[in-house]
Amino acid sequence: MGAHEVDRGGEPLAGLAVSARASLLRVIEASGAFDADPRWREAFANVPRHLFVPYYYVGGVGGVSGSGGYERRWGESPDPRTRERWVRGAYEDVPLATRLRDGVLVSSSSQPSLMALMLAELRVEDGSRVLEIGAGTGYNAALLSYRLGDGNVTTVDLDAEITESARRHLADAGYRPTVVTGDGARGVPERAPFDRIIATCTLTSIPRVWLTQCVPGALILAPLATGLIALTVRDAGQAEGRFLHTPAYFVPLRGSPPCGSERAEPEPVALAGVPRRARESELFHFLLALTRDTLEPQEAFALWEREGRPGRERFGITVGVEHAWAWLDEPEGPYAWPLPGSFDTGLVEP
C-alpha cells in the first residue's frame, strides 16, 4: 500500500487491497493499455482506487429502497462480508457507479483499462501541464499527479458536490492537484497554458477556447461520437487529429447528468431500410453519431459499405478558426462533414 493509503475496513482488508490491485494491474497490462506509455504502470500500481470509491452501487438488484434497484457497497459497512465485496469490487476492471440522484445513475468511476489507455495515449512528458475536464472521483487526477506532480495537474467539474468529494478523496490519498468548480467547456484560463487536455465526458464539438489555453503542439484527447479523438494543437485557431481505434461511452459535457458518468448512448435514429448487419454494428453507429444531422442513415450506410466498413481510426477532425469538420481518411479528401454546431449542415469541402 502507498504511504498515504488508508485502510477503511480494518487490517485484514489491507492485504486484500494490495492483492486485488495487483490483479487489476495484470488485467490492464493484458489489455495492452500501457503499450503506448509503460510508465503509467507504476501510477496504477501505487494509486489506491478504493480510496476514491468509499462507496459505490452495483446494478441489477431489485427492490432496493431509494436506490433505483442498485445495491450500495460501503467500505465502512458493519458487515465484514460487505466490506470485503467492496474492496474486491473496487479493483475490478469495470466502471463503478458512484452517484445517484432520484434513483438515476449520474456519475461513476471509469473502467481502469480505458483510463490507462487514455492516459497512455495522452503522451505526457515530465513537466507536462494537464487540464482534466470532468473531476469524477478524483482517481484520474491522482494518477496524473503521481506521474507529473500536483502542481502540473488541474481538474474541473461543473458540479460542486463532485469537486468537493474529489478534493477530499485526493487529500485522503495524499495528492493535492488544483480542483476547480466551473464549466469545463470554458477551460480554466487562470491555470493556462496547458500542454495536454483530457476530457472524460462526451463532446459534440471541440470548444475553441481550449485551443487558446494550449501551447502550440499540445494534445487534446476527448470522447466524441462514441470514439476518442486525439487532436494536435497547431496554434490558438487550429487543431487536427484522428480517432483512436477504441470505443468510448461517457455522458455529455453539458447538461444533466454531469460530466464523469459512463455509457451515455447517442439519441436513437430511425434505421428503416438499413440492413441488419449495419444496425448491429458498433462502427456503423459511430459513423451515424459522427455525421448526425448531416447524412441520412441510408446515405451513411451506402458510404460505410462503399468504403469497406471503415474503423474509427480512419476518421479524423479538423478544428479551424471558423469551422470544424470531421473527415474520412484525409482532411481534404472527398468525405467531410461539419461537426454539430460548427456550421451549416450538408456534405462540405473543407
Q: Where do the domains of the chain lie?
A: 11-202
Q: Which residues are catalytic?
A: 107
Q: Tell me: pLDDT of 4 over 60.
A: no
Report the C-alpha gap between 84 and 279 in whole angstroms: 42
Distance between CA atoms of residues 119 and 140, nearest Å:
9
How much is the pLDDT for 105? 64
Q: Which residues make beta-bridge pairs with 243? A: 229
* Model pLDDT, residue 205: 86
* Per-residue pLDDT band at 18 (split at 50, 70, 90): very high
Q: What DSSP element (H or E) covers 48?
A: none
Look at residue 111 in the predicted model and tell me its pLDDT: 94
pLDDT score recorded for residue 303: 96
Question: Residue 7 pLDDT more than 90?
Answer: no
pLDDT tens digits, residue range 252-295?
A: 674 434 444 444 445 556 788 899 999 999 999 999 999 988 89
What pLDDT does residue 11 have?
A: 52
Q: Is 348 exposed, middle or buried (0-12, 13-18, 19+ CB in 10 A)?
A: middle
CA distances from residue 124 to 28, 37, 150, 153, 318 in whole angstroms, order as listed = 19, 9, 14, 12, 22
Read off the pLDDT of each residue in 30-45 and give the average, rounded to a whole number: 96
Model confidence at 347: pLDDT above 50: no
**More confident site: 264 or 306:** 306
How many angstroms separate the CA atoms of 211 and 322, rounded?
13
Task: State residue 166's pLDDT score.
Answer: 96
CATH topology of domain 11-202: Rossmann fold (3.40.50)
The reported pLDDT for the residue numbered 340 is 65
